[in-house]
């Protein structure tokens, strides 16, 4: 019987190992930027072509390498960081396993130019699929200039599963941001297809944050600085009024390394639980420095998960540091000189009393277009005389909203429209019904002449982050088709001069920002077109809300428009709009 177990060829083993380290173009960016930082660079340039598919170039002014070091750097487990096993537990640099460059070279075509300050001539090294094609002297600047081309060219299946250019570029931007937030004393730039997305000078951490996420972010930042024998916590948390519906700007760093840590995240968010609305998130940028011997950064190939020896103690220190920072801010803003001691923390009520919006300020406006008048036959609608005894006019319980009724409908708790039908009672979720109506109106817009745009008296200028600017470029044609007039003013700002008539009265800046955030969090799929995806998001965000009281005419119009839709039962994402409680079920209650 022949042997079954065999050693893998080096080429196959290298590709398998590379798969753990190099998952997508952003992985290459991360490894090359970290190498440049470890080389003591003060200026690092990142140039991307086609979201990293075609080329990823990183140029630094670090110490560079000799011709021997350049060749050894591409050998697996070759590293300048470790000489003995104990060195693993006292690391203060980024990479250390000697896998980054060999992994990159295994799945791409690599060209490296490097020179040390003391050398007059540098070295050029060309490698393809782990094989050295050429090495020769060359004239070049001090530092390293490494160009990675045609990523996964020798792994077609892996290359096929890369996402869209927009998605991959967003991953690169996120990786870039996580690194530059740790090193404000280093100048960085990021260019994509010749367009500069970031040009960051050497500065302070606070200025670096505002350079990345917008100047407005600076006014919300509150500094943290708590030092104990166990750890040193620094950075910034945001004021409660900076809370938003997405958590894109939440960063933890440990000893200069970005990490994900749900347990520590809870320590921060627990302080804000009664200060911000439920479901919203607070931005934070928190740096935890600990003794390297007390953490393990090698539990995951990407090193974004870190195990701490004293997690519970650090949790308490972190929560206390954030609480003290918020307390100082709260005290300063109250200007109450007669109130001593700790500031009172206001309690946020997640269930405020609904406010009527059926005045001229209402977000819901009936559409005067003709609608079917016989939709009730679908549900064998009862007569108004039959329904009159169902809705007593006496006061409801204290916590129940006074119902609004019409000849055909009743609104219950500002959420449901109740309509008697022969088979029982039909409940219509008003937000979901309006969402379905708006979605079908948006998605049926096939050409600009079918859109209904309301021009704004004053244009809304919106400053975008680099990520949002990339996404805006992608969804702008769709927004214009849906009725928006938007002009690009610069690489990171736009002016909104017109909006769809259906969203009049909305906070335009907030709406556009949320649309971009949703676009960032969703992947392109063949099943759902970009226009369909944006139409879903827009319909959900602009539909009448829970708690919005409707007049009898508005209820009639909403129900009639719903039954003109192609699907009256489900929202675009499949949630139920209508539910009927059968008459026999009602009778059993009595």
The single residue listed with the structure tokens 């537990």 is 89
Confidence at residue 82, expressed as pLDDT on a 0 to 100 scale: 43
Q: 256-298, pLDDT tens digit by residue?
A: 999 989 999 999 999 999 899 888 899 999 999 999 888 877 6
Q: 19-47, pLDDT tens digit by residue?
A: 567 889 999 999 999 999 999 999 999 99
Q: 351-391, pLDDT tens digit by residue?
A: 433 333 333 345 566 655 455 556 565 555 443 333 333 43
The neighbouring-strand residues paired with 226 are: 233
Q: 576-588, pLDDT tens digit by residue?
A: 999 999 999 999 9
570's torsion region: left (phi>0), alpha (psi -120 to 50) or beta?
A: beta
Under the banding of pLDDT at 50, 70 and 90, the label for residue 255 is: very high
496 pLDDT more than 70:
yes
Question: In a 3-state reduction of DSSP, which class is residue 76?
Answer: coil
137 pLDDT more than 60:
yes
Burial (CB < 10 A; 0-12, 13-18, 19+), residue 127, is: buried
Show the tokens assigned to 372.
Answer: 């079917």
Confidence at residue 14, expressed as pLDDT on a 0 to 100 scale: 65
Average pLDDT on 302-310 reads 78
Tell me which H or E stretch contains 516. helix 508-521
Average pLDDT on 194-222 reads 92
Confidence at residue 248, expressed as pLDDT on a 0 to 100 scale: 67
Distance of CA 422 to the CA centre of its chain: 47
Give yes or no for a contact between 73 and 65, defined as CB atoms under 8 angstroms apart: yes
**What distance in Å separates the CA atoms of residue 288 and residue 227, rounded to the nearest whole number?**
10
Under the banding of pLDDT at 50, 70 and 90, the label for residue 339 is: very low
Confidence at residue 79, expressed as pLDDT on a 0 to 100 scale: 56
Number of alpha carbons in the 13 Å side-chain half-sphere of residue 26: 18
Average pLDDT on 484-508 reads 86
Of 216, 169, 157, 177, nearest to 195 by C-alpha is: 169
Confidence at residue 124, expressed as pLDDT on a 0 to 100 scale: 97
Show the tokens assigned to 484.
Answer: 């928006």
pLDDT top residue among 569 and 537: 569
Q: 75-124, pLDDT tens digit by residue?
A: 876 555 544 445 444 545 544 335 789 989 999 999 999 999 999 999 99
Under the banding of pLDDT at 50, 70 and 90, the label for residue 1 is: low
pLDDT top residue among 527 and 589: 589
* Residue percentage of the chain with pLDDT more than 90: 47
Give yes or no for a contact between 286 and 224, defined as CB atoms under 8 angstroms apart: yes
198-212, 497-511, 551-565: lowest mean pLDDT where?
497-511
Average pLDDT on 486-499 reads 88
Give yes or no for a contact between 209 and 218, defined as CB atoms under 8 angstroms apart: yes
Q: 382-427, pLDDT tens digit by residue?
A: 433 333 334 333 333 333 334 455 568 899 988 999 998 888 899 9
> Rounded to two decimals, what is the model's pTM?
0.72
Question: In a 3-state reduction of DSSP, which class is residue 474?
Answer: helix
Confidence at residue 567, expressed as pLDDT on a 0 to 100 scale: 92
Q: 549-572, pLDDT tens digit by residue?
A: 899 899 999 999 999 999 999 999
**What distance in Å separates the CA atoms of residue 361 and residue 294, rounded to the nearest whole number?**
58
Chain-wide mean pLDDT for the chain? 81
The neighbouring-strand residues paired with 227 are: 232
500 pLDDT more than 90:
no
123-132, 242-251, 339-348, 368-377: lowest mean pLDDT where?
339-348
Give yes or no for a contact between 272 and 243, defined as CB atoms under 8 angstroms apart: yes
Give yes or no for a contact between 145 and 112, defined as CB atoms under 8 angstroms apart: yes
Average pLDDT on 125-137 reads 94
**What distance in Å separates the CA atoms of residue 134 and residue 436, rounded to the nearest whole number?**
62
């Amino acid at each position: 019987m022949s042997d079954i177990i065999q050693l893998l060829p080096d080429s196959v083993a290298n590709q398998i190992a590379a798969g753990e380290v190099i998952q997508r173009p952003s992985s290459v960016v991360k490894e090359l930027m970290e190498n440049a930082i470890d080389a003591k660079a003060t200026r690092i340039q990142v140039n991307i072509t086609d979201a990293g598919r075609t080329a990823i170039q990183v140029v630094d002014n670090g110490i560079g390498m000799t011709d021997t070091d350049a060749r050894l750097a591409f050998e697996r487990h070759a590293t300048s960081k470790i000489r003995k096993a104990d060195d693993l537990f006292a690391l203060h640099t980024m990479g250390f396993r000697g896998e980054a460059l060999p992994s990159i070279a295994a799945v791409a075509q690599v060209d490296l130019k490097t020179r040390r300050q003391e050398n007059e001539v540098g070295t050029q090294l060309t490698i393809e699929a782990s094989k050295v094609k050429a090495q020769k002297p060359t004239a070049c600047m001090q530092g390293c200039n490494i160009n990675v081309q045609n990523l996964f060219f020798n792994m077609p299946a892996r290359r096929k599963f890369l996402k869209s250019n927009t998605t991959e570029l967003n991953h690169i931007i996120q990786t870039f941001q996580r690194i530059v937030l740790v090193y404000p004393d280093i100048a960085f730039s990021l260019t994509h297809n010749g367009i500069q997305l970031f040009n960051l000078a050497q500065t302070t951490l606070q200025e670096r944050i505002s350079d990345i996420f917008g100047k407005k972010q600076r006014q919300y930042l509150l500094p943290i600085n708590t030092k104990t024998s166990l750890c040193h916590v620094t950075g910034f948390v945001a004021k409660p009024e900076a809370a938003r519906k997405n958590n894109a700007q939440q960063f933890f760093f440990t000893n200069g390394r970005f990490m994900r840590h749900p347990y520590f995240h809870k320590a921060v968010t627990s302080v804000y639980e009664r200060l911000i609305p439920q479901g919203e998130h607070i931005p934070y940028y928190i740096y935890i420095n600990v003794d390297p011997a007390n953490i393990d950064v090698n539990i995951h190939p990407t090193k974004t998960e870190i195990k701490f020896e004293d997690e519970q103690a650090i949790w308490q220190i972190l929560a206390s540091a954030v609480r003290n920072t918020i307390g100082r801010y709260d005290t300063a803003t109250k200007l109450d000189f007669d109130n001593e001691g700790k500031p009172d923390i206001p309690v946020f009520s997640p269930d405020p009393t609904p406010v009527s919006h059926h005045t001229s300020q209402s977000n819901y406006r009936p559409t005067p277009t003709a609608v079917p008048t016989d939709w009730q036959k679908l549900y064998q609608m009862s007569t108004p005389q039959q329904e009159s005894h169902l809705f007593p006019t006496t006061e409801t319980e204290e916590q129940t909203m006074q119902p609004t009724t019409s000849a055909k409908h009743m609104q219950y708790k500002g959420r449901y429209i109740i309509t008697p039908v022969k088979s029982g009672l039909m409940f219509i979720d008003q937000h979901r019904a309006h969402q379905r109506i708006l979605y079908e109106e948006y998605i049926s817009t096939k050409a600009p002449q079918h859109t209904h745009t309301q021009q704004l008296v004053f244009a809304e200028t919106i400053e975008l982050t680099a990520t949002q600017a990339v996404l805006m470029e992608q969804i702008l044609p769709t927004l214009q088709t849906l009725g928006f007039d938007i002009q690009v003013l610069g690489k990171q700002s736009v002016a909104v001069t017109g909006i769809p008539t259906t969203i009049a009265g909305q906070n335009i800046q907030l709406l556009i920002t949320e649309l971009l955030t949703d676009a960032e969090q969703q992947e392109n799929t063949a099943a759902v077109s970009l226009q369909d995806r944006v139409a879903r998001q827009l319909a959900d965000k602009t539909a009448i809300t829970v708690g919005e009281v409707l007049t009898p005419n508005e209820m009639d119009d909403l129900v009639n428009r719903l039954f003109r839709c192609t699907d009256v039962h489900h929202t675009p994402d499949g949630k139920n709009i209508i539910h009927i409680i059968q008459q026999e079920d009602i009778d059993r209650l009595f």
